[in-house]
Structures are given as C-alpha cells and as structure tokens.
Chains A and B, each alone.
Chain A
Amino acid sequence: KQEVTQIPAALSVPEGENLVLNCSFTDSAIYNLQWFRQDPGKGLTSLLLIQSSQREQTSGRLNASLDKSSGRSTLYIAASQPGDSATYLCAVTNQAGTALIFGKGTTLSVSS
C-alpha cells in the first residue's frame, strides 16, 4: 500500500530564507507527483506537477525534484516571503492512476 510521508511537519523561517520541504513515498511505481498549497479554510492549489519521466519542474521561486527510484521528492522555495505561509501537501497517483495519495503536509510559517 502506497504511503506518503512529509518531513518536517512544521517549519518556521524568517523572510528571505531558502528552504526545502521533503516528501517520500514507499512504492516507486507512480505515474506522477504533485505539490499543492493549502491555505487555512481553503481548498488545494496545485503548484507543480512532475510526470514520472521527469526529474524536476520549476515555477517562479518554486522548484520541485523527483527521484522515483529512491521514492523522494523535494520542494525548494527560494527567498521565502510571508505570503508563502501555508500548508504544503505532496501527493502521488495510485497504481490505477485514478486517485491521489497525500501526505499529511508541512505547515510553513514565514515571519517578516
């Protein structure tokens, strides 16, 4: 059974720091991996989608990498801002390709 783990569970940093969020999954037979952002009381906003054949994706200050063989992904946030404060969720597709399996998330707080 696929399990997704995110470390750390919570992270507090001062504005301007570069930071890395980690995601690991137990079954490397995934179709893709997606990083989401969730603000309190809100739904999920897709940040980056990495297909299984890709190794990384970039969008602005965000860079996500995927190492399928080791079952790991990282989300790198450059020059963090208070507006980046949110919960970041990592998810992989199930083997049927019909559903996402989520980690519990990393709650990020960026102070000004």
Chain B
Amino acid sequence: GAGVSQSPRYKVAKRGQDVALRCDPISGHVSLFWYQQALGQGPEFLTYFQNEAQLDKSGLPSDRFFAERPEGSVSTLKIQRTQQEDSAVYLCASSLAGTGLSYGYTFGSGTRLTVV
C-alpha cells in the first residue's frame, strides 16, 4: 500500500480483556517497529521485526504484551488482560532497509487504546 495502515483506529477495552492491534506495513519494507505513546509523551519503543524475525523485544513492558509477524508482512500486537496503564496510542512504523538507518521510518496513524 501507499502507507502504513493500522486497525482499528480506536479501541475501548474493559480491564482484563484481551486486545489485538493490526499493522500493515508498506509493501516490501523489511523492518517493522511498534511504539507506545502515552498522552503528552514521545513514543517509546516496544519491539522490532526484521522480516518475520523478532530481533528486539526489549521495550515490551510485561509478558502480557506479545507481537508477531509470521509471514514477514502484517504484524499483530496483542495485549492480554489489559490494565488501565495500557491506555495509550500504539504506533507502527516500517522501514525499507534492515534497520531504519539509511531510509528512515514511515509511521502509521496509530491505534488509540482506552482501557476502562
């Protein structure tokens, strides 16, 4: 596609509910990243994929967070047993190269998750 597409745009979840957030990167982009942006803050790194391999998951805040990219294109970020502190905008980005070093990153519009 022309850009990075994320769905849903908005998600309201009851505390304790599981949620799944989807990211469609730009076709042919090797790298895919997930970020979490709390209100009034800059985005914070969650995890990084190169093709289907998850090379860095150091930013995932707890074992309730899980990400996958099984075929090296679409990625899903899953949050189990959601808690109120999970409320944030979840941003996905992709990059043409193995990392974003040379070509930079293209971000999606994000999914705003609200846990009530």
Q: Which residues of A contact B (CB under 8 A)?
A: 4, 31-32, 34, 36, 41-46, 49, 51, 89, 91, 93-94, 96-105
Contact = CB atoms under 8 A, between A and B. Distances in A.
B112 to A, nearest CB: 8
B57 to A, nearest CB: 11
Given A96-B56, A99-B56, A34 B42 contact: no
B45 to A, nearest CB: 4
B2 interface: no
Contacts of B102: 51
Interface of A is mostly: strand
Interface of B: 4, 6, 33, 35, 40-45, 48, 55-56, 59, 91, 93, 99-102, 104-110, 112
10 contacts: A43-B110, A44-B93, A44-B107, A46-B104, A46-B106, A97-B99, A97-B100, A98-B55, A100-B35, A104-B42
A43 B108 contact: yes
A34 B43 CA distance: 13
A33 to B, nearest CB: 10
A74 B33 CA distance: 26
B48 to A, nearest CB: 5
Nearest to A90: B42
Contacts of B59: 99
Contacts of B93: 44
Given A31-B101, A93-B101, 4 more contacts: A43-B107, A44-B107, A51-B102, A98-B100
A101 B104 contact: no
A106 B9 CA distance: 24
Contact of B42 (A32, A41, A89, A94): A89
A9 to B, nearest CB: 9
Contacts of B100: 32, 93, 97-98, 100
B55 A42 contact: no
Contacts of B112: 41
